[in-house]
Structure 1
Amino acid sequence: MIQIIDWERQATEALKSIARRQDLKAHVERTPALNGLLRRAAARYVAGATREEGIEAARRLLAKGYAVSLEYIGENTTDAAECEAAAGEMAALVGELGELGITARVSFDLSHIGLAADDGLAYEQLLRLTRHARELGIEPFVSMEESAKTGRILDVYKRAAISDSGIGITLQAHLNRTPGDLAGLEGIGGPIRIVKGAYQEPAEVAIGRSEALNERYLQLVEAALAQGRRVSVATHDEALIEAVIARGWASHGVEFELLYGIRPDLAGKLKASGYPVRVYVTYGEEWYLYLCHRIAEFPPNLYRALADVVGEAAVDSVSAYD
């Protein structure tokens, strides 16, 4: 009897493990030829290395009728000076968006601005960034990271949200703790972004991709709406999106949020049907982890990455959006 190997599941697990291998990341960074090849693959999912490239991608998407989120990618920064430099780049991003009159959401990874060094530093910098953003009409949002950081991220978020109730937060549906975390946010903070969860987690703290996960996802959307929040349904899973539409939630405070470079066809279809669609645009030099996660979420993207590596033309993901 021939055993059928679940290669996609194995590929997903392998890629998530590779994403956390600092030795592999370091090897890529110090090998110019390899770095150049993988950077070509990352260009499909990362708008560029610079703030200017990120903003330009956002402007073009806005012109096509999409809302946008922007993130300067990076995490697990342990040096306080580097954390402050990252926060400085985020403040510059917010300031430039404000000067250009661009309506956008800006997301912050707390471990990029202090959490990996000191919770107090992360709180202080988040508060400065969110106040700056709100003054300029930019919506501040906190991203989510591995489960080991979830409690600390939520603690910092709650402290900041007491001072500014408009800050948004991301929650990961695959974590077993998330329904309780959402209930604990009752009356605190602003909009909620719900993702399935991209990080590799132990079985005792998270559930894998399954019908059970989809059901939990929908329960979280319903619970967040019941709290009176705006909700970003951040998924490329068409079955989930169709379920949200079928339940009538798409006309009651829900938007669909898709990652830059992934399923532009789906984004266009949803927008053409009259639903609000947001594209999550990233930029920066820390693209290695991000690339691994994007391929891990949908292993057939590996074929696309190989095509991008050997292709002659530069990737322009914005052009794929209608």
Structure 2
Amino acid sequence: MLYGLLKKAALQYVTGESRIDGLGAGQRLLAKGYAISLEYIGESTAHAEECEAAVEEITALIDDLGQKGGSARVSFDLSHIGLMLDTELAYTNLAQIAARAQVAELELFVSMEESAKTERILEVYKRAASRYPNIGITLQAHLHRTPDDLPALAALPGRIRIVKGAYQEAVEVAISRSEALNVRYLQLVEKALGDGHRVSIATHDERIIEEAIRRGLLTMRGAELEMLYGIRPELGGRLKSAGYPVRIYLTYGHEWYLYLCHRIAEYPPNLYRAVANMADSQRVDPVEAYD
């Protein structure tokens, strides 16, 4: 019973447990004029067999998206494909996936995880991106190290996604949600675009979005807004109608519980929506909320 209730809450933010669920929701959003990014959920995978299975699933997702066409990309955590076991395994698997994505003419995106993994994630990314220009990287604005990490990516061609950061970190490592973080976030976006990077401005914070628009950042070459599936669809629709490029980040898979926890932790009022969805007898269909 508890599993069923929690799954109903998760379906506000997760398309379902199968690749068919993710592709189905993604195609509907593409038809509405959005770009999409799809992720097969999983992180901190501790067994080689599970990493191999994840690589197979991500490869199948790439093949399916390549056949369907549209403005789509594939995202994933390096700890889902081997980083917890061996850095070299993660690199080998990333290179394998990137080669397949190049054939399908798709862009990949490496997500960012807890700060303890940041150095290894960047190490693997830099090695792979120097060979495969279709790989992008995520940077977390709240980490103290990020303003120094950004210039180190200057020579690499991949797109940069900038997020605030969903992980709870020590004050020695990161700054908390605050006006200072908003200032840092916009500085990073401005710097990345100014350096010629293609940038995904991944936020639902209207103050940041309005300021980015005021500064003309969203009209700069290579800039786009990226928003999580199920969160602020009315805002995404309004921005798309205004002519700004909006990409929706969709997820699918069986490991949805931790993803649900992240969405509640980064914005606690999402808990009210989760409870409401658990009490509702109807299945949640967030795609319908997108214009």
What's the TM-score once normalised by structure 1's chain length?
Answer: 0.89
d(CA) in 2 for partners of 1:80, 1:133: 22
- Tell me which residue corresponds to 1:290: 259
Whichever residue aligns with residue 231 of structure 2, its letter is I
Residues 77 and 112, structure 1, Cα contact 8 Å, conserved in 2: yes
Structure 2 residue corresponding to 1:299, chosen from 268, 277, 280: 268
- Tell me which residue corresponds to 1:90: 58
d(CA) in 1 for partners of 2:203, 2:71: 22
Q: Highest Rg: 1 or 2?
A: 1
- Tell me which residue corresponds to 1:159: 127
d(CA) in 2 for partners of 1:189, 1:34: 45
Per-residue CA distance 1:67-115 (angstroms, 9 max, x = gap):
0000000000011111011011000000111122243110120000000
- Answer yes or no: is 1:272 the counterpart of 2:246: no
Residues 187 and 227, structure 1, Cα contact 8 Å, conserved in 2: no
Residues 37 and 74, structure 2, Cα contact 8 Å, conserved in 1: yes
What is the CA distance between 1:43 and its match in structure 2?
Answer: 0.4
Structure 1 residue corresponding to 2:20, chosen from 52, 61, 65: 52
SS of residue in 1 equivalent to 2:156 = coil
SS of residue in 2 equivalent to 1:256 = strand
Whichever residue aligns with residue 295 of structure 1, its letter is I
- Answer yes or no: is 1:122 the counterpart of 2:94: no
d(CA) in 1 for partners of 2:96, 2:278: 40
- Tell me which residue corresponds to 2:194: 226
Structure 1 residue corresponding to 2:161, chosen from 171, 179, 193: 193
What is the CA distance between 1:164 and its match in structure 2?
Answer: 1.2
SS of residue in 2 equivalent to 1:268 = helix
SS of residue in 2 equivalent to 1:302 = helix
Residues 9 and 274, structure 2, Cα contact 8 Å, conserved in 1: yes
Equivalent residues, number: 290
What is the CA distance between 1:226 and its match in structure 2?
Answer: 1.8
Whichever residue aligns with residue 237 of structure 2, its letter is G
Residues 158 and 189, structure 1, Cα contact 8 Å, conserved in 2: no
- Tell me which residue corresponds to 1:131: 99
d(CA) in 2 for partners of 1:133, 1:165: 11
Q: 1:1-322 counterparts in 2 under 5 A? A: 33-252=1-220, 253-322=222-291
Whichever residue aligns with residue 78 of structure 2, its letter is L
Per-residue CA distance 1:173-223 (angstroms, 9 max, x = gap):
000000101111111131100000000101100000111101110110011
d(CA) in 1 for partners of 2:247, 2:79: 24
Whichever residue aligns with residue 122 of structure 2, its letter is L
In structure 1, list runs of 5 or more residues that go unmatched.
Answer: 1-32
Residues 139 and 163, structure 2, Cα contact 8 Å, conserved in 1: yes
Question: Aligned-residue CA RMSD in angstroms?
Answer: 0.8
Whichever residue aligns with residue 43 of structure 2, its letter is E
Whichever residue aligns with residue 256 of structure 2, its letter is W
Runs of 4+, deviation exceeding 3 Å: none
SS of residue in 2 equivalent to 1:184 = helix
Per-residue CA distance 1:235-261 (angstroms, 9 max, x = gap):
000000001000011111211110000
In structure 2, list runs of 5 or more residues that go unmatched.
Answer: none
Residues 122 and 156, structure 1, Cα contact 8 Å, conserved in 2: yes
| Identity %, equivalent residues | 64
SS of residue in 2 equivalent to 1:144 = coil
Whichever residue aligns with residue 315 of structure 1, its letter is V
d(CA) in 2 for partners of 1:131, 1:220: 29
Residues 97 and 103, structure 1, Cα contact 8 Å, conserved in 2: no
SS of residue in 2 equivalent to 1:141 = strand
Whichever residue aligns with residue 114 of structure 1, its letter is G
What is the CA distance between 1:48 and its match in structure 2?
Answer: 0.5
Residues 106 and 134, structure 2, Cα contact 8 Å, conserved in 1: no
